[in-house]
Amino acid sequence: LFCLANTNYERTHTRTMLLARGLQLILPLMTTWWLMANLMNMALPPTINLTGELLIISSVFNWSNITILMTGAGTLLTATYSLYMFLTTQQGKLPKTTTHIFPTQTREHLIMALHTIPMLLLLMNPGLIMGPFMCYYSLMKTLECEPKN
């Protein structure tokens, strides 16, 4: 998301999100990158952020029951802000201060692809980041999870 915010800044020369609205009309492919990044940030299934949030929430809940309220509020706030940021930057009318915006360059799409591809690969093989916890937290015990004698 920081990379996408920087590409918006390079075009609009402002860090104010309200002045960067309506970019969906001008940069439709960049809107696709914004949508993918925001969906992954909101921890929708089956992204790796969901796995991380579930592990954090369960461990914090085991530590202290009252922290589930703070963790839930933080998760809700993150998802709400991600959706707000996407809608603010991509929807609406173009402001009058936006006179000309340069089209996206290949390097920007390459940067976004290089950010997204590792997340998609980890999504297909979560065992790379879960390691030994994969068997411990697995709902279905498989033969691979059993200790070898």
pLDDT digits (tens, 9 = 90+) for 40-98: 888 888 888 887 888 888 888 888 888 888 888 988 998 899 899 888 888 888 777 77
Q: What letter does residue 144 receive in the DSSP assignment? A: G
Task: Specify the residue for token string 């915010």.
Answer: 5
Mean pLDDT: which of 55-64, 93-102, 107-116, 125-134 is highest?
A: 107-116
pLDDT at 113 (0 to 100): 93
pLDDT at 135 (0 to 100): 58
Question: Helices 106-124 and 48-63: crossing angle, nearest 10°?
Answer: 50
Pick 78 or 125 by higher pLDDT: 78
Q: How far apart are the C-alpha atoms of 51 and 43, rounded to whole Å? A: 8
| Per-domain residue ranges of the chain | 2-145
21 and 93 Cβ atoms separated by less than 8 Å: yes
pLDDT at 110 (0 to 100): 94
pLDDT class for 147, splitting at 50, 70, 90?
low
Pick 89 or 112 by higher pLDDT: 112
Coil/strand/helix, residue 68: helix
Token couple for 107: 């390097």
Pick 11 or 133 by higher pLDDT: 11
- CB neighbourhood size of 73 (10 A): 10
Q: For residue 73, which phi and psi values (nearest 5 degrees)? A: -65, -40
Mean pLDDT: which of 34-38, 118-122, 124-128 is highest?
A: 34-38
Token couple for 54: 């579930």
Does residue 145 have a pLDDT over 80?
A: no
pLDDT at 144 (0 to 100): 55
pLDDT at 133 (0 to 100): 61
pTM: 0.74
Q: How far apart are the C-alpha atoms of 35 and 3, rounded to whole Å? A: 13
